[in-house]
Amino acid sequence: MSHDTYELKAEAREQVGKGSARAVRRDGKVPVVIYGDKQPPLAIALNYKDLFYKIHGGGFLTTVATIDVDGKKIQVLPKDFQLDPVKDFPVHVDFLRIGKDTEVNVDVPVHFINEDKSPGIKRGGVLNIVRHEVEFHCPANAIPEFITVDLAGTDIGDSIHISAVKLPAGVKPVISDRDFTIATIAGSSAMKPEPEATTEVAAAEPAAPAAEEK
């Protein structure tokens, strides 16, 4: 399932706007907005270092967090964030409130296993990844950390579709009108020929005609 949840302490912001946001950043904090769950948006400020390490630590957008706003704890899921284009530090984050029945669309990474058990890859074939992430609709408190594609038994020319992936309960692809491809096993110039190929070619060549007697 998803990464371990975490908690961040926040301060409520009474004022919003560009001027207020700049003042928040000067204090070493990041302006944040919490919205959703049929409640008005809540403007807060979070510690810059706490957010920096969470964003760059992996799984940020698929991990439910708890925000402690002056003693009131709110469960949230990060929905979007902006980084400084030069220094790569967070300048703004949006969080979605999570209720007990909240469902979300989220991009989940794809992991591949058993490449060493793929006959096609062993012969020099190449794993061609069509989708590094797949968008799923799922409960906010049950987001998969990743989905796993098993390559055991795959050969040159094979395609792995979403229907071949075992998904957790309640997790459904957002694309539902087709069995889309996640990866293929493609041929390459480094492929090893089949052992019987040389024999078959030789057998297929016609014998030279015998010389006529004079």
Which tens digits make up the pLDDT trace of 8-19?
A: 999 988 767 777
**Contact between residue 96 and residue 76 where contact means Cβ atoms under 8 Å apart:** yes
Q: State residue 70's pLDDT score.
A: 87
Q: What is the mean pLDDT of residues 58-70?
A: 92
Average pLDDT over residues 167-189: 93
**In the chain, what are the helix, strand and coil shares in percent, each to the nearest 5?**
20, 40, 40
Q: What is the pTM of this model?
A: 0.75
Please compute the mean of the pLDDT values over residues 175-199 and round it to a whole number: 78
Q: What integer pLDDT is reported at residue 144 of this predicted model?
A: 92
Q: Chain centroid to CA 87: how far? A: 24
The answer to whether residue 201 scores a pLDDT higher than 60 is no
Q: Which carries the bigger pLDDT value, residue 204 or residue 170?
A: 170
- Tell me how far CA of residue 157 lies from CA of 83, 93, 205, in angstroms: 41, 43, 28
